[in-house]
Amino acid sequence: MDLAPTTRDELAAMLQEASAHGRVLDIRGGGLHSRRGRPFTPDDTILTRGLSRVVDYVPDDMTITVEGGVTIAEILAAIGGHRQAWPQAPADPTATVGGVLAAAVSGRRRLRDGPVRDSLLEVVVATGDGRIIKGGGRTVKTVTGYDLPRLLTGSLGTLGVIVQATLRVWPVPMAEQWFTAHGDDGDMLAIAHGVLAGRHRPAAVILTPGAAHVCLTGVPDDMVAPPGMAEGSEPVAPMGPGTVQMGVPPAALPAVVRHLSLEARPFEAWLGTGICHVIAHDAADVTAVRDLATSHSGHAQVVDGDDALRADPFGPVPAGADIMRHLRSSFDPAGILCPGRFAAAAPVPA
Amino acid sequence: MTGGAGHLADRLRALLGPERLLDGNLARNLYAHDGSIVTGDCGMVALPETTEEVATCMAMAHAAGVEVTPRGSGTGLAGGAVPLEGGLVISLARMREMGEVDTANACVWVQPGVLNLDVSMAVEHLGLHYAPDPSSQAACSIGGNVGTNAGGPHCLAYGVTVQHVLGLELVRPDGQVVVLGGEAPDPPGFDLRGVVVGAEGTVGVVTRVLLRLTPLPPDVRTMLLDFMTVAEASATVQAIIAEGIIPAALEMMDRNMALAVEEFVHAGLPTDAAALLLVEVDGTRAEVDTATGIVEAVAHRHGVRTVRVARDEEERALLWKARKTAFGAVARVRPSYYLHDCVVPRTRLVEIMEAIGEITARERVICLNVFHAGDGNLHPIIALDRSDPDETERAMRAGDQIVRACIALGGTLSGEHGIGVEKREYMPLVFDSGDLEAQACVRRAFDPDGRMNPGKVLPTGTRCGEVGLADTQVPEGTWI
C-alpha cells in the first residue's frame, strides 16, 4: 500500500504504526534512485512528495530550508530568480531533495563544487519508530554536536525518512560554458589532462567513449576553449539496463577509462574526482566492473538496475560495519526501513 | 590513584618507558588545561609514537575500564582536550610523521601530531596547500583540527576540515584499528568518516589522516577596507556576497582589536576606523580582477573610507599576520580572554554586533572583535584578568548573554571551536531532548562503554535511552 504523508506528524504516526506491527517500508521520492541496494519486498511504501513545502529561504544568507519531498525543479524555481543554484546536486528536475540526499547523488560539477553531502547544513529526520530528530544547524558553518547531516547522506533510507533539509546554495556563476572534443581515447585523455593541469579550475572534465566534455564556470573572459576543444554541450548520460558507479583514486581513472574502452563498455568518467559510471547488462558485468575498480584500489556499487543486477550491490563489507549496525538499531529499532538493502554476497563478520 | 588506574599506569610505563608515561604532579597539572579557561583533572599522560602503541594503550585502558581523553596541541578554546575525571590522556604530539605526498591524487597521509601550517609548508613547492587555516595554525595539530572540524578564514570559499579529510585511521575504544574513507570517493555504507571529524575525541583516537591538498590559486588579491561604523562594514559583507562573489576570505576586525594588533604588528592598520574588513579574492587573473572591481564598488556604495590593496606578497603576508596574531594581541589589553565562536546568519550581522556592543558595555568588560564575517562566525573576545573575580564574573555573564543573543537571531553555538565542556550546557538552546538523545546514540555506536572523552559535547545527563540496546535483527547476508 502507498502511504502519502503531507506533514511530519502524519509521517511520524505512520512510522510508529509500522514499527509496532513490524511492517517493512520502502521510501520513495521522485523514484529516480530507488533501484539501489539489494532488492527487498516492502509491505508499504512511503511516498514523500506530499512533504512539499519550501519552509524558509533567505537569499542573502544563501540557505534554503525545504521539506524532503520538494523537487530540484521546485528548488530552482524558488532560488533561480535570485541567481542562485544548488550546484552540488544532480540535474534531474524530478528528483526530490530527500532522495538525492538519501542516495548521496552528486552532480557533474563535483570537481569544482564538491559532493552533495557538503551542501547539507541541517537535517530533520523521522526515525523508524517515528521520532522527529534534528541535526546540524541552519548557519553556513557549524560544529554544534554530532554530524547527523553527513550520517544521513547516503544512508539509503535505513536510518530514517528525511523530513526537512537546510541546504547551502551558491551564486550562479557569471559565465558557464561546455566544451567538447571527439577522437580516440588517447587524444581525449591528453586533452583532459591538459585541462586539469591548467590554471582554470574546471567545474567538470568528463570522458565518454570517443569524446571529452569540459565545463568551465567563472567570469566571461575565462570562457575560452581549451586546446583541442570547441564549444559544445553536456554529455548525454549512458543508458542501459543497469549502472555501476565506480570510485577509484582520481589518478587511476585514465587507466580505468582505457580498460573500459577496450571492452567497449559505455561509461561516463568524471576526471579529477575518481567517479565513473559504467553500464551493466548483467551480474557478470557488475563483477567485471567491480574487479576493475578493486584492481585500482577502488570500489563499485550498483546505483541502478533490476533485481538480478542487484544481487551483490556493494561488494565487500566495509570497515566499521558493526558501528553502522549499532547506528541502525538506534534509529530504526524495529528494523522496518528498507531492510536488506545493505547486503553483501560474502559472509558478514559479527 | 585507584587500583585499576594505578595498575594501568604500570602497564603503560612498561610499554612506553618512563619518559613517555607521565603521572607526576607537574604533568598532571599541565595536561589538566588546554587553550580554554577550563581546569580539569588528569590522571596520567601517555605519549605514544605509533598507531600500534595507541592501539595497545587503548586496549589496556579498555581492560582497566579507564576513561581516555585524546589530545593534540592543546590549543582548543572549548575545553575539548581537558580530562575531567582523572583517567588517561593520550597525547598525539609525538606522532608527527608526514607520508609521501601523492601528487597525482593531491593528498597525503599524516599523523595527527603534524602541525597544520607544516602541511602547507611541506607541499608549497608542489603548488599545493592544505586549505583549512585556523589562526592558531602554527601551533595546532591536524588531529586536533579533525577533532573540532576546525575552520579558518579561508573556509568561506574552501570549506572546513571535514571537506578536506578524505580518510582517517581510527583506534576504537577497545583498541581495534579501522580505516574509514580513503582516496577512492564515496565508499559504500554510512559516512562514518564524516561523523568522526568534529566528534571531539569522543569516538576513538585518530592516528592517521588522509588530507586533501588543494592547488594554490593562480592569482590572489588581498584588500583592507576601513569604515567609520560597524554597521557599514557589516552591510558591506552582506552586499559583497549578495552580488554573487564568494571571496576566499572575508574577515572583520573592530577598532579595539585593530588598536591591540597594530601596536605590535605595525601593519599600518587604520586605528581610528570603527571596523576593518580584510577581503581576499583568488582564482584566475580575470576572476580576481572582476571580484576586486565588485568588492570595491560595493564598499564604496556602503561608505568605505579607504580601500588598500596589498601591492605584493610581503604586504599581503603582513595583513594576514595582523589578522592571525589577533588573539595573542589581546595580551596587551588583559592577561587572559574568554570567547565564544557562535555563528549567526550573515543577514543578522548588524544586529548581533549591536547586541554585543550593548551587552559588553552593560557588563563593563572590554570586548575585541575579530571574526569570519563572511560566514557569520563571530569571535567576540572578552579581555579579562582572571585574578580579578569580579571582572571574571562579568566576563562570564557577558559571554552567556552573547550566546543567547546569537541563538535568538537564528544562530548556532559553534562554528569551528567545538562544544567541548564550555558550551555543552548550552546545547539544549539549539536541540531538544530527542535530538540530544539521538546524538548520544551516535556516540554510543562508536563507544558503547562511554569511556571516550566523557563529559564533552553533550550536556550532563544526556543518554541514548532504551532504544537500540539490542542490535536490530538484520536479514541474512546484510551488514546494516
Cell output for A345: 554476497
Q: Give A107-147 pLDDT, tens digit per residue.
A: 999 999 999 999 999 999 999 999 999 999 999 888 889 99
All residues of chain B having their beta carbon less than 8 Å from the beta carbon of residue A171 are: 241, 244-246
Same domain for B322 and B366?
no
Q: Which of B33, B63, B91 is the last residue of a domain?
A: B91
- Closest-CA residue of B relative to A152 is B190
Share of chain A above pLDDT 70, in %: 99
Distance from CA of B446 to the nearest CA of A (A): 6
Q: Which of B310, B332, B354 is the last residue of a domain?
A: B332
Q: What is the model's pLDDT at position B465?
A: 79
Q: Does B151 touch chain A (CB under 8 A)?
A: yes
Same domain for B274 and B308?
yes
Average pLDDT over residues A13-21: 98
CATH code of the domain in which B226 resides: 3.30.70.2190
Q: What is the model's pLDDT at position B473?
A: 67
Q: What is the model's pLDDT at position B468?
A: 52
Q: What is the model's pLDDT at position A348?
A: 62
Same domain for B226 and B327?
yes
User: What are chain A's domains?
Assistant: 2-171 (3.30.465.10), 175-310 (no CATH)
- Closest-CA residue of B relative to A22 is B473
CATH code of the domain in which B386 resides: 3.30.70.2740
Same domain for B249 and B300?
yes
Taking a contact as any Cβ pair under 8 Å apart, which residues of chain B between 266 and 295 contact chain A?
283-284, 286-287, 290
Q: Where are the alpha helices (DSSP H) in chain A?
A: 8-21, 72-79, 97-102, 110-113, 148-152, 185-197, 253-262, 283-295, 321-331
Confidence of residue A349 (pLDDT cuts 50, 70, 90): low
The answer as to whether B437 is a domain residue is: no
Q: Give B49-67 pLDDT, tens digit per residue.
A: 999 999 999 999 999 999 9
Please say if the pLDDT value at position A148 is more than 80: yes
Mutate to test the interface with A, among B77, B409, B472, B476 (most CBs of A within 10 A): B472
Q: What is the model's pLDDT at position B154?
A: 94
Q: Which of B314, B332, B350 is the last residue of a domain?
A: B332
All residues of chain B having their beta carbon less than 8 Å from the beta carbon of residue A134 are: 431-432, 435
Length of chain A: 350
Nearest-by-Cβ selection for B431 from A145, A222, A299: A145
Mutate to test the interface with A, among B101, B190, B203, B433 (most CBs of A within 10 A): B190
Same domain for B38 and B57?
yes
Same domain for B229 and B198?
no
- Quick one: CA dihedral B121, B125, B130, B133, positive or negative? positive
- Closest-CA residue of B relative to A84 is B244
The answer as to whether B476 is a domain residue is: no
- What range does the domain containing B369 cover? 334-430
Say what the ipTM of the complex is.
0.97
Q: Give A196-253 pLDDT, tens digit per residue.
A: 998 889 999 999 999 999 999 999 999 999 999 999 999 999 999 999 999 999 999 9
Mutate to test the interface with B, among A113, A131, A143 (most CBs of B within 10 A): A143
Q: Give A295-322 pLDDT, tens digit per residue.
A: 999 999 999 999 999 999 999 999 999 9
Q: What is the model's pLDDT at position B469?
A: 47
Distance from CA of A252 to the nearest CA of B (A): 9
The answer as to whether B133 is a domain residue is: yes
In angstroms, the CA A300 to CA B326 distance is: 48
Q: What is the model's pLDDT at position A266?
A: 97
Please say if the pLDDT value at position A82 is more than 80: yes
Nearest-by-Cβ selection for A332 from B194, B244, B472: B472
Q: What is the pLDDT along chain B (480 residues), one digit of tens a residue?
A: 555 777 999 999 999 999 999 999 999 999 999 999 899 999 999 999 999 999 999 999 999 999 999 999 999 999 999 999 999 999 999 999 999 999 999 999 999 999 999 999 999 999 999 999 999 999 999 999 999 999 999 999 999 999 999 999 999 999 999 999 999 999 999 999 999 999 999 999 999 999 999 999 999 999 999 999 999 999 999 999 989 899 999 999 999 999 999 998 999 999 999 999 999 999 999 999 999 999 999 999 999 999 999 999 999 999 999 999 998 899 889 999 998 899 999 999 999 999 999 999 999 999 999 999 999 999 999 999 999 999 999 999 999 999 999 999 999 999 999 999 999 999 999 999 999 999 999 999 999 999 999 999 999 999 997 655 466 667 778 888
- Is the Cβ pair B480, A328 closer than 8 Å? yes
Distance from CA of B155 to the nearest CA of A (A): 9
All residues of chain A having their beta carbon less than 8 Å from the beta carbon of residue B102 are: 249, 251
Can you spell out the DSSP letters for B250-307?
EEEEEHHHHHHHHHHH-----TTSSEEEEEEEEESHHHHHHHHHHHHHHHHHTT-SEE
In angstroms, the CA A36 to CA A51 distance is: 22
The answer as to whether B38 is a domain residue is: yes
Length of chain B: 480
Q: Is the Cβ–Cβ distance between A305 and A259 less than 8 Å?
A: no
- Is the Cβ pair A58, B345 closer than 8 Å? yes
Report, in angstroms and rounded to the nearest whole number, the Rg of chain B calculated over CA atoms: 23
Same domain for B185 and B286?
no
All residues of chain B having their beta carbon less than 8 Å from the beta carbon of residue A253 are: none
- Is the Cβ pair B415, A141 closer than 8 Å? yes
Q: What is the model's pLDDT at position A199?
A: 82
Phi (first) and psi of residue B455, to 5 degrees: 85, 5
- Quick one: CA dihedral A223, A226, A232, A238, positive or negative? negative
Q: Is the Cβ–Cβ distance between B238 and A60 less than 8 Å?
A: yes
In angstroms, the CA A274 to CA A140 distance is: 27
- Closest-CA residue of B relative to A193 is B104
Distance from CA of A261 to the nearest CA of B (A): 21
- Closest-CA residue of A relative to B149 is A143
Helices A283-295 and A253-262: angle between axes, nearest 10 degrees: 140
Q: Give B312-359 pLDDT, tens digit per residue.
A: 999 999 999 999 999 889 988 999 999 889 999 999 999 999 999 999
Count the domains in chain B. Answer: 4
Distance from CA of B266 to the nearest CA of A (A): 32
Residues 6+ apart with CB under 8 A from A32: A92, A94, A95, A99
CATH code of the domain in which B36 resides: 3.30.43.10
Same domain for B282 and B344?
no
The answer as to whether B466 is a domain residue is: no
Same domain for B322 and B226?
yes
Q: Give B418-460 pLDDT, tens digit per residue.
A: 999 999 999 999 999 999 999 999 999 999 999 999 999 999 9
Average of per-residue pLDDT values in chain A: 96
Q: Is the Cβ–Cβ distance between B176 and A237 less than 8 Å?
A: no
Taking a contact as any Cβ pair under 8 Å apart, which residues of chain B between 306 and 365 contact chain A?
343-347
Nearest-by-Cβ selection for B478 from A61, A273, A342: A342
Share of chain A above pLDDT 90, in %: 95
How many CB contacts within 8 angstroms connect chain A with chain B? Answer: 292
